[in-house]
């Protein structure tokens, strides 16, 4: 969900997320994500949504496809896409007749199939400097949905995240000490990541727009989406602006 930039080797035109999501260091830093929590979240969503047998899902910004695999193992048809060629190459190892992966930018409709459900999970949104790109991304997802299709968008609760930023942290993974500095400025939560590997120094930065519930409501209204439910954690408890860890929106295409 975040980025890594070698400032000496990347041109000015390269966006941070294009480098970070395709980097092996991204997967090293976040390799210990809670798989049980992710599976439980998917099961909670399915229990709430109650999709019909044969429903078709699109996993938006799927990474290496862990959520796609969970959904497919539950018996649903799934397409996933991501901007990272390396992630999609890894995901494709597990392709089947009912599970496919594609390289695609979230700002563009996949234009492969029409889907009953679109999942955009674990803060895989808000990476753009241009505000209009966020709206474009929502519009593109909606364009891929069938009539009455459902979008599930899972984002951080920015209010709590900003008020509880851990400014400094060192995380050691695979003998690499990632020194992390977090800040909130100009409407973005940033994470500067410094470390050494094979004698080389790296500086990377994650940058995610602090998007509020009201802003998402604005995006959704323009995209012709009607919000049907708002949850505040992976157990689907009610959303509380000050205390919830997540902002999980379930909206239907009008």
Which residues, listed in sequence order, are joined to residue 197 by a DSSP beta bridge? 200
102: confidence class by pLDDT, cuts 50, 70, 90: very high
Residue 9 lies in a domain: no
Interval 38-46 mean pLDDT = 95
- Write 217-224 long-range contacts (CB < 8 A, 24+): 219/134, 219/135, 219/138, 220/138, 220/249, 220/251, 222/135, 222/138, 222/139, 223/135, 223/138, 223/139, 223/141, 223/142, 224/142, 224/253, 224/254
Residue 4 scores a pLDDT above 50: no
Residue 38 scores a pLDDT above 50: yes
Q: What is the pLDDT of residue 9?
A: 37
51 and 70 part of one domain: yes
Residue 11 scores a pLDDT above 70: no
Residue 239 lies in a domain: yes
179 and 54 part of one domain: no
Q: Which helix (H) or strand (E) holds 214?
A: helix 213-222
pLDDT tens readout for residues 208-223: 999 999 999 999 999 9
Q: What is the pLDDT of residue 89?
A: 95
Which residue did the predictor score with more confidence, 84 or 71?
Answer: 71
Interval 47-70 mean pLDDT = 95
Interval 10-36 mean pLDDT = 67
Residue 12 lies in a domain: no
Report the chain's terminal Cα–Cα distance, integer Å: 29
Q: How many domains does the chain have?
A: 2
53 and 82 part of one domain: yes
Instruction: Find the domain containing 105 and state its range.
Output: 35-157+212-253
Residue 3 lies in a domain: no
Label the pairing between strands 188-197 and 145-156.
unpaired
Q: What is the pLDDT of residue 20?
A: 60
219 and 165 part of one domain: no
Q: What is the pLDDT of residue 27?
A: 65
Residue 1 scores a pLDDT above 60: no
Residue 195 lies in a domain: yes
82 and 170 part of one domain: no
């Amino acid at each position: 969900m975040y980025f890594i930039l070698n400032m000496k080797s990347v041109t000015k035109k390269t966006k941070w997320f294009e480098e970070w999501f395709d980097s092996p260091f991204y997967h090293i830093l976040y390799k210990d994500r809670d798989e049980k929590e992710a599976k439980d979240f998917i099961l909670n969503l399915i229990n709430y949504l109650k999709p019909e047998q044969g429903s078709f899902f699109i996993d938006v910004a799927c990474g290496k496809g862990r959520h796609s695999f969970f959904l497919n193992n539950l018996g649903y048809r799934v397409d996933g896409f991501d901007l990272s060629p390396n992630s999609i190459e890894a995901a494709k190892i597990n392709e089947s007749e009912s599970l496919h992966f594609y390289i695609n930018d979230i700002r563009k409709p996949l234009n492969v199939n029409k889907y009953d459900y679109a999942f955009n999970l674990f803060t895989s949104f808000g990476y753009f400097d241009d505000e209009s790109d966020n709206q474009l991304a929502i519009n593109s997802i909606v364009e891929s949905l069938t009539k009455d299709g459902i979008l599930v968008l899972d984002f951080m609760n920015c209010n709590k995240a900003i008020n509880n930023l851990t400014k400094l942290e060192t995380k050691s993974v695979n003998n690499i000490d990632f020194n992390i500095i977090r800040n909130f400025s100009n409407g973005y939560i940033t994470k500067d990541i410094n470390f050494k590997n094979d004698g080389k120094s790296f500086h990377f930065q994650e940058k995610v727009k602090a998007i509020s519930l009201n802003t998402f409501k604005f995006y959704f209204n323009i995209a012709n989406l009607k919000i049907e439910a708002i949850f505040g954690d992976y157990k689907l408890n009610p959303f509380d602006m000050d205390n919830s860890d997540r902002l999980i929106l379930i909206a239907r295409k009008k």
